[in-house]
Each structure stands twice: as C-alpha cells, then as structure tokens.
Amino acid sequence: MAEGVNKGTHKFTDRHGREWDLTITLNEAWRVDKAEFDGVSEVDIKFTKPSDEMFKEIIDNNQLMFAVIWYVILPQAEQKDIDYESFCDGIDGSCVWEATMSLMESLQDFFPQARTVLSPMVKMTKRVLAEAKEESIELEAAVTKVLENSLAKSREERDQKRKEASEKLGVEFGLSPASSASD
C-alpha cells in the first residue's frame, strides 16, 4: 500500500451519538456515481471520473457535501434502520466540522491525485477550527470572569444592604441558606 493512501477509517459522530464511517472504497464511489445531485449542484459528481471542480463543489456546497456523505454511509444507515430525514436530523453545528474533515481526509485517501486541491483546504479548515476553539476558550474565560465579578459585586451589595437594614431596624439579619452555601 502506498504511503498515505487509505490510512484508515474516517469517522464522525452526529448529535444523536451515532458514529458514521466515511471511508471511501470503490463500492462507495460507485454508489455516489449512481446518485442524482441535479437539484443540489450543476457540477457532475462522479467519483470514478473526479475533477478539481467536483472536489471544490463538494467542499463549498454543504447541501451537496451531506448528500454525498449520505451515499457514502448509506449501507451503515440501512443497518441502523435510519432514513435520510433521520440522518439529517442528526446533523447540527456540533458535528459539521468533524464530518467535513472526515470527508475531506477520506477523499484525499481515495483520490491521491486530488491532494493538491484538498490538502490546502484541509490545512486551512484545521487552522480555522483550531482558531475557533481557541477563541471559544478565551471567550468562555472572559464571560466566566465577568459573571464571577458580577456575582461578587451582587453579594457585596446584598451584604451591605443587610448591614444597613440591621443597623436601621436593630435586628440581626443572617445569611440565607442558599447564599451561605454559595459563599
């Protein structure tokens, strides 16, 4: 086996926890070739006659990409008794990147000649995903800090109001069970 070709399986998990293997074999290629994508793309999608235009269209057109994925995973879906609508119901933002990357890497393995087209897309997609994750972590940390500061300020204001009320009324106010548990 040539270096880098058919390295292994390429999987993603949908929002329902179902794992899908996007490894492309000749059977999947023939299945995709038989499929009709006329309503989704004007580009001829034939895995047995690949073109740079086809690869770019699959990656740029999410509707087409998931239609292609459907035909790649069709036997798996049939084994799980899942129809196209149920499959699509499992696709949300949480798995689009993983599915895209799995398909792109599987296409690279099945079509080594397409690496010149797909490799930059894979690298760029991985970089964008890594940056998005990093920004998400930074945003989460910033939001957490703002919320913690706001909570601390609210507690200080609450304690100050209790103190003022205690002094004004001459009654000692204790902390409520909820606030004493969280302080």
Per residue in 155-164, pLDDT (tens digit) is 888 888 888 8
- Tell me, yes or no, if the pTM score tops 0.85: no
Band of pLDDT at residue 5, cut at 50, 70 and 90 = very low
Q: Is residue 169 domain-resident?
A: yes
Give the rounded distance of the alpha carbon of 86 from its chain centre. Answer: 18
Specify if 170 maps to a domain.
yes
pLDDT of residue 137: 75
Q: Do 27 and 91 fall within a single domain?
A: yes
Same domain, 20 and 82: yes
User: Looking at the chain, which runs of residues are DSSP E strands?
Assistant: 11-13, 19-21
pLDDT of residue 33: 95
Same structural domain, 108 and 161: no
- The pLDDT-based confidence of 140 (bands split at 50, 70, 90) is confident
Q: Is the pLDDT of residue 80 over 90?
A: yes
More confident residue, 97 or 16: 16
Using alpha carbons, select from 110, 43, 38 the residue that is nearest to residue 72.
110
145 membership: H or E segment, kind and range: helix 115-169
**Block residue for tokens 């459907």:** 70
Q: Give pLDDT tens digits for 50-75.
A: 988 999 899 889 999 999 999 999 99
Same domain? 88 vs 158: no
150 compared with 36, residue with greater pLDDT? 36
pLDDT of res. 6? 44
Give a yes or no: residue 65 inside a domain: yes
Single out the residue in 118, 150, 166 at which a domain terminates: 118
Does one domain contain both 94 and 159? no
Residue 91 in tokens: 């696709």
Structural domain range at position 89 = 11-118
Q: Tell whether the model's pLDDT for residue 179 goes beyond 60.
A: no
Evaluate whether residue 52 is within a structural domain.
yes
Both tokens of 153, joined, read: 């300020």
Q: SS3 of 68, please?
A: helix
| Residue 60 domain-assigned (yes or no) | yes
Percentage of the chain lying above the pLDDT 70 cut: 87
Domain co-membership, 142 together with 100:
no
pLDDT in tens, 115-134: 777 777 777 777 777 777 77
Residue-level pLDDT at 167: 79
Whether residue 114 lies inside any domain: the answer is: yes
Verify that 153 and 108 share a domain, yes or no: no
What tokens were used for 178? 């909820």
Within a domain: residue 4? no
User: Quick one: 52 and 94 in the same domain?
Assistant: yes
Whether 173 and 90 map to the same domain: the answer is no
Burial class (CB in 10 A: 0-12, 13-18, 19+), 68: buried
Q: Residue 102: which residues within 8 A CB-CB, separation 6 or more? A: 10, 11, 12, 22
25, 102: one domain: yes
Directed axis angle between helix 52-60 and helix 93-110, to 10°?
170
Q: Quick one: average pLDDT of 91-112?
A: 89
Nearest to 105 by CA among 87, 86, 122: 122
Average per-residue pLDDT for the chain: 83
The structural domain count of the chain equals: 2
Q: Is residue 91 part of a domain?
A: yes
Q: Residues 30, 101: one domain?
A: yes
Q: Same structural domain for residues 39 and 104?
A: yes
